[in-house]
Structure 1
Amino acid sequence: MFDLESLSSKIVEELTSLMDKNVIVTDKNGFIIASTDSNRLNSFHEGAAISMRNQQELHLTEELCNKLRGVRPGIVMPIIVSGAPIGVLGITGKPPEVEQYAKLVKKVVELFITDSISREEKERDIREIEFFFFDLVTTDSSVEVIEDRARMINIDSSLYRRIAVIQTYQQLEITDVEGLLKIQTLHPELKIIRWGMEKLVLLMPDIKKEQLVEGLTSLSLRIQKKIRQKLPIGVGNFNNFHQLKDSFSQAETALAVSERQGKIVFEEDLKLELLYYSVRDEVQKEFLKRTIEPLVAEEELMLTLEAWLKRKSSLQDLADRLHIHKNTLIYRINKIQNILGVDLHDMNDLVIVYTAIRLYRKK
């Protein structure tokens, strides 16, 4: 239920800045909850109580003020929102003077409150979806529980099949999320969820890959106007609603790769990267220690090794690309083999070294 008291001070402050009149707002019982004159707070305003009861504007003349408690000359009007009175607005002054703009002020206040209620409802809806998604991917609730909660917040569980994660590098406000939902072109039923302090999660229906890339690119460009840097995006695989936890995990893996590659990455397209990101950090460190760690400090040799692993032509062509003599290249390759204890012409050693280089660059 809407709480008028939480907005009443803002209403009085705004109106006072626009006109040289004292303003009050009362609750349904006629007690003043906001006033230009702070001494009137919490006092009973009999004129407001009458206006509320009759749901009519009341002109408080000098004569009427002498008969009613806690009133001053002016006009009091019920604040009507969605067809129901929620409080009373009062403006002090001679009624004939105040009457010229009283109805307009009342309408502005009612529109302001209606807009605030709408914003609160949208924020509540977004937060409910955020809480629901958190439970969906972090707990092992039964299918029945998930279905019941989804229905409570009007989510069609048969619609959503995939997760994408966008790295935003800063937390976005709910108003930012609302704006993105208005301009996004992915799907009318797309859900955008803030995840932690620096990510957005997209709960998506079944969308063709080409359309998905186009829509995600458009959305990220909009966010980049605020963040001012390129945003990594990872996309998980299709799954049924109750197993979107897996799609979320896949999207997180793809996001880590996207940070290095600078483009949208689909987990389904990962190959070696899939192995790299599924291996524990301590295992990765031990693997590097046993393979290329002795060479890491030798930047020139590391660059030569990477060029060797990527070569598609003769030694002479590779030497030319590195701007060194062919004999210098041969010397470096022999030195690399001696340091690492490998044979770069042996397929087994070549695969190990290549994997280690890729893993090192990933880290």
Structure 2
Amino acid sequence: MVDSLAKMVGSLQKDVDKSSRYAFQSDYALFIDQLFYASSASHITYTSLLATKLGIDLSLNRLVCLLYIKDREGMPLADSRLLYALIRTIRTRMTNKNQDIVGLLGTSRIVYCPYAETDFFSREKLENQLQALAATLANTYPVIVSVSVGLYAQHVLEYGQSLRSIPAVVQQNTSNKSGSIIFAEDHLVDYLLQIIPKSVLDHFLGYAVHYLQENPVVYETLQALVCNDMDIYSTATQLQVHRNTVIFRINQIKEVLSLNPLHQDSDRFKVILIYTYARTHLNKEI
């Protein structure tokens, strides 16, 4: 049995070596690489074995946080020595040094996965910790640090999924201000639009998006409704129109799209989905 396991590990090592993006990696660096980019059952098995060897329990709740590192001029940091110095500093501030995960993930990106001792994170506490960490890095080194927080991960496959939830939220983060934090959970619609095939979106949302293209005033009203959490008075104030005008336009949406976003939660979600798809995925002026 031991011989069989040894042969399996050897086979997996060869398989991983062929696909690894970096040669001669340490076990920990290789673990980071495989954890987020495992693409086959053998890679997943090898990642689990590496985690066991490193004493990392992959069944624990973690959040995947990406730290985007730029120099003071706003350009992606390319100095590998400085990036590893940043990682060493992060390690000294980790609350659960044996179970928190941190490493370099491609150019100018550091991944940090804090472990939750309970079944959930306190968002306020986590945000304060990340802001303090970003401030420490920015004050210690000549860098600008922004942080994006992905979804929960409690399984090997979920780390890659959480990582893929982050690009959608990064699009919302246009500021280079050091210490800025943005959460994927605040932009779940953007994430859904990333993972659902465009052909499926066009099939179910195409008619509604076409209607918005042909009726820019309705689109403007929908945009204001979404931004103001479907509040009629705030929407009317933003659009500088009477509330009855907003109600009239909402009735148009009800009639044409058969959606009632003010009184049906499911319709409200559909309206937000339609608006977000029209805004971010058609790449057209509406």
After superposition, the Cα gap between the structure-2 partners of 1:289 and 1:129, relative to the gap in structure 1 and judged at 3 Å, is: same
How far off its partner does 1:356 sit? Answer: 0.5
Q: Does residue 257 of structure 1 match 2:176?
A: no
Q: Does residue 231 of structure 1 match 2:146?
A: yes
Report the structure number with the largest CA radius of gyration. Answer: 1
Residue-by-residue CA offset, 1:286-331 (whole Å, 9 max, x unaligned): 44422123323654432212334544346xx754442224565566
Q: Is residue 160–residue 204 contact of structure 1 (8 Å, CA) maintained in 2?
A: no
Q: Distance in 1 between matches of 2:94 and 2:275?
A: 37
Q: Distance in 2 between matches of 1:285 and 1:293?
A: 10
Residue-by-residue CA offset, 1:181-233 (whole Å, 9 max, x unaligned): 343323334443222335322244445634533332233345567554x6241
Q: Does residue 284 of structure 1 match 2:201?
A: yes
Aligned to 1:199: 109
1:183 partner SS: helix
Aligned to 2:127: 213
Letter of the structure 1 residue corresponding to residue 156 of structure 2: L
Aligned to 1:312: 231
Aligned to 1:21: none
Q: Unaligned 5+ residue runs, structure 2? A: 1-22, 70-75, 174-179, 282-286
Q: Is residue 342–residue 349 contact of structure 1 (8 Å, CA) maintained in 2?
A: no
TM-score (norm. length: structure 2): 0.59
Aligned residues: 229
Residue among 27, 31, 37 paired with 1:132: 31
After superposition, the Cα gap between the structure-2 partners of 1:307 and 1:245, relative to the gap in structure 1 and judged at 3 Å, is: same
Q: Does residue 141 of structure 1 match 2:37?
A: no
Letter of the structure 2 residue corresponding to residue 174 of structure 1: S
After superposition, the Cα gap between the structure-2 partners of 1:266 and 1:186, relative to the gap in structure 1 and judged at 3 Å, is: farther
Q: Distance in 1 between matches of 2:267 and 2:44?
A: 48
Residue-by-residue CA offset, 1:57-89 (whole Å, 9 max, x unaligned): xxxxxxxxxxxxxxxxxxxxxxxxxxxxxxxxx
Q: Is residue 180–residue 219 contact of structure 1 (8 Å, CA) maintained in 2?
A: no
After superposition, the Cα gap between the structure-2 partners of 1:176 and 1:163, relative to the gap in structure 1 and judged at 3 Å, is: farther
After superposition, the Cα gap between the structure-2 partners of 1:327 and 1:202, relative to the gap in structure 1 and judged at 3 Å, is: closer
Residue-by-residue CA offset, 1:258-278 (whole Å, 9 max, x unaligned): 5426733265x7765564343
Q: How does 1:62-141 map to 2 (within 5 A)?
A: 128-137=27-36, 138=38, 139-141=40-42
Q: Does residue 156 of structure 1 match 2:55?
A: yes
TM-score (norm. length: structure 1): 0.48
2:107 partner SS: coil
Q: Unaligned 5+ residue runs, structure 1? A: 1-123
Aligned to 1:168: 68
The percent of aligned pairs where both chains have the same amino acid is 17
After superposition, the Cα gap between the structure-2 partners of 1:131 and 1:148, relative to the gap in structure 1 and judged at 3 Å, is: same
Q: Distance in 2 between matches of 1:194 and 1:147?
A: 19
Letter of the structure 1 residue corresponding to residue 278 of structure 2: Y
2:165 partner SS: helix
How far off its partner does 1:253 sit? Answer: 0.7
Q: Distance in 2 between matches of 1:299 and 1:167?
A: 38
Q: How does 1:24-39 map to 2 (within 5 A)?
A: none
Q: Distance in 2 between matches of 1:148 and 1:344?
A: 51
Aligned to 2:16: none
Q: Does residue 244 of structure 1 match 2:156?
A: yes
Q: Distance in 2 between matches of 1:313 and 1:326?
A: 6
Letter of the structure 2 residue corresponding to residue 263 of structure 1: I
RMSD of the alignment, in Å? 4.2
1:133 partner SS: helix
Letter of the structure 1 residue corresponding to residue 272 of structure 2: Y
Q: Distance in 2 between matches of 1:181 and 1:160?
A: 24
